[in-house]
Each structure stands twice: as C-alpha cells, then as structure tokens.
Amino acid sequence: ILIDLFDKRKIYMVGYGCWPFTPPEGDWIYHIRGTHDGDDPTWPDIYRMNLADLDTRRSYEPEVANPDADWGHEYHPRISNDNQWLAYMASTGCHWDYHCDYEIFVHRLGSGLSSRFRLTENPSFDAFPSLYIGPLWQKSTEPRVLVTPGRLTFHAFRKAIPAEQTIQIKNSGGGNLGAPTVVIEPPVKWLQVRSTATTLTFSLVKDAVTRGQHRTAVKLTMEGAPGTPTTIPVTLNADDTFAVEADAGVPIDAAAGESVDGAAPTDVAAPVTPPAPSAKGCTFAGTDTRGSGGALALVLLALLLRRSRR
C-alpha cells in the first residue's frame, strides 16, 4: 500500500506481499510479491512498478522470478548505489527462518527474470546483502576518528541503574591521534563520561535519573584529527519507578521556603482568611485555594439559615 504524503486521502494498492522499497534514484517501487488465491505459483518473487502508473498498475510486473526449487524463494532485495544491480537472498523454499539455507544472489536490473549470479555457497543463513559500486576505500594519510558504537542507549528499570557502557576510539587513518576532549551538550546531570586515549566510558548518576526519555550528545574532539568533534548521541529511558523530573522553573521545595539547587528561598504567602458574610449578602475574597472550598461552604450555610428564619 502507498500513501500520498501530500494528500493522505490518496491510498494506492501496489500488490500483495511485503518488503516495499525504492531505488536510490528513479520513479520505481519494488516489493516482494506474495500469492493471492494461487495467482503467483513461484511466489515470493520481486516485483516492480512505475509510480506514474499508480492508478492503472499497468507497469506492475516481476523483475526476478524463479521456481522455489531453483533458489527461487527470494527475499530482502536491495538496489546498488549506482541503480544498476539488485542484490537479494534466496532459498529453495524454506520460508524466512535462521535455520534456512539462504544464499546471496546479484541480478542486473532489466536483464531478464532468471538472470542472476550466485555469490555464496554455504549451507547456513547467508542473508541481508547490500551492494556498493565504486572505487575501493583508501586509507587517509591524516588521522581519522572512528568510534564504535556510534550511539548509546540506557534502559533503567525498577529503580536499578544499568551498567556503564564503553565506546572504543580508533584511528582509521594515518598518523597518531592526540588527547581527547569531551563535552556533553546539552549538559545533563544524569550522565558522566570518563575518557582515555582509546576509550570513552559512560555511566549514569543514580540520584539524577528521572522517569521518561532523555536525550543528549557527547562531542569528542581529538587533538590533531581533522573533522572532529565527533558527535555521539546518548538516550536514557527510565520507567515510572524513578522520580518525576522537577520543573526547572518551580523548585520542588519552594513551598517550604527551602533552597533548591542553589536557588534563593521562595517567599510563601500567608493564608488569607475569608471575611464573614455581611447582612446584605455574602462576599468572598479568599486567596488561599487550599481552604476556599470550606470557607465558601460556611458562607452558603449562613445564607440558608438566614432565609429559613424569615
């Protein structure tokens, strides 16, 4: 199913199946075609359609189609960066499980339904191929910072703080990396970072963890390495066993006149007692909301008693 994001009332049927994807360039959409009441005896196959034909589907046709027994159970197709080749995985009928014998194939787009090159010969689960066409990677003569992994997520449950996590710092270029400098931006109280020449160690500050999802980033600058700082996103997910984060504009102990996080004590207004009802009716000018309900009830009761005596 396709939805026009410029007019979400427009919904188009592409075909039965799964795994829709688009190429790096062009107006085509591809997907894995399933079967509907037996109308595709060699399913699953890889189908395509031009987006100009969403109303008619006249260009909807297979790009790759082979019988299951002939490595024709195709899955996970990806088109190369130069828009010329399609890499995919296929089995002889075993349907999508890690115990299946899947192999990797490459197909040149538009070369015929059964045109392909087999790349692997292994009775294990060979899967999820991608294909890059272009010059080979060349090592830089200058230092290049490589951090692995490139992002971190902490999950805090049942008032327990997760273990610290470590990121490796490597030089994927030439020369030598200098000393690291680490900045947490935006600054947060719940994260601490220790650095060495080859590692960053991240840990949570228990008393500063509050419920909900929180995000920040660590910016790593290495002396002598162009292209830095390197940004490492960090996410904290804490369940509702942790305290609610205090509103920075309203200190949590302000009502008691105490200082919070170095802020000056907040003056607390004394309760104001509502005036008694006058002989002509009732007036109410109380500002203490904690007692206004009871004061109003007393005023109304006095009016009712006054009327009952008439």
Average confidence (pLDDT) per 10 residues, the chain, 310 residues: 87 90 93 85 92 93 94 95 96 90 96 96 93 87 92 95 96 89 95 95 96 96 87 96 70 38 39 42 36 44 49
pLDDT attached to residue 306: 53
Cα atoms in the Cβ-side hemisphere of radius 13 Å centred on 39: 8
Amino acid letter at 70? D
pLDDT attached to residue 158: 94
pLDDT attached to residue 297: 44
pLDDT attached to residue 114: 94
pLDDT attached to residue 282: 36
Cα separation of 34 and 210, whole Å?
47
Residue 6 CB partners (closer than 8 Å, separation 6+): none
H-run or E-run covering 117: strand 117-118
pLDDT attached to residue 1: 86
Amino acid letter at 277? P
pLDDT attached to residue 247: 54
